[in-house]
Amino acid sequence: MENWAEHLECTLIDEESLQKRIHELGEEITRDYEGKDLVLIGILKGSIMFLSDLCKEIPLSLAMDFMSVSSYGNRSESSGVVRILKDLDQNIENKDVLIVEDIIDSGLTLSYLRDNLSHRGPRSIQICTLLDKPDRRVAKDIHVNYCGFIIPDKFVVGYGLDFSEKYRNIPFIGALKRELYE
Ligand code: IMP
Ligand code: MG
């Protein structure tokens, strides 16, 4: 099996920059959610590394839950069709929900998720994403409350993000070579 380094075009965001920005996001979220009933909802599987680093930067008594949805299959374009593969374990009624995503591309996944969760009676719902590709947005009604980095229209992997389930273990964010996904 080859090393993943050969499959990357470049490093987009290195480990140090990730940790520095996540520390800042944690401070901001901590300030905003003081005195609230925060539930972090990680969207599996892409957000695992981001969520696990982010939650350590938020010294509040918060809860965590997970959802898994599928919209892509093995392709690199969103289909707009979202399926819930794993739902929350907890009731979010009267909770202050913060959805934690790896990346927002078309925004279709998040638009569906936010509408779905908002019907369950939370006190508030906000969105935190590590990466945002605003040039690719299709769902215009998505408001991102916390964003780590705005990135160009490249397919990125690493730090939890995959292409066909691979590359999640790369410790930084890299751009995948175009010939591998086009
Ligand atoms: P959207 O519905 O188009 O916003 O897609 C959101 C989901 O697509 C994310 O949660 C990722 O799982 C996946 N995705 C979108 N762009 C990328 C990328 O550049 N690398 C890896 N996954 C991506
Ligand atoms: Mg994915």
| pLDDT single digits (tens) 101-139 | 999 999 989 999 999 999 999 999 999 999 999 998 988
Q: pLDDT at position 77, please?
A: 62
Report the catalytic residues. 105
Over 70: is that where the pLDDT of 76 sits? no
More confident position, 12 or 70: 12
The number of the ligand 1 atom at minimal distance from the alpha carbon of 80 is: 2
Closest Cα to atom 16 of ligand 1? 105
Per the rule left: phi > 0, alpha: psi between -120 and 50, beta: everything else, 158 is left
Q: Name the nearest CA neighbour of 44 among 161, 173, 142, 130.
A: 161
H helices within the chain, ranges in order?
15-33, 48-55, 108-118, 178-181
- Which residues, chain by chain, have CB under 5 Å from ion ligand 2? 46
CB 150 within 8 A of CB 121: no
Mean pLDDT lowest among 9-13, 68-72, 93-97, 149-153? 68-72
* Residues in contact with ligand 1 (CB, 6 Å cut-off): 46, 71-72, 78, 101-110, 155-157, 161
CA of 162 to the centre of ligand 2 (A): 6
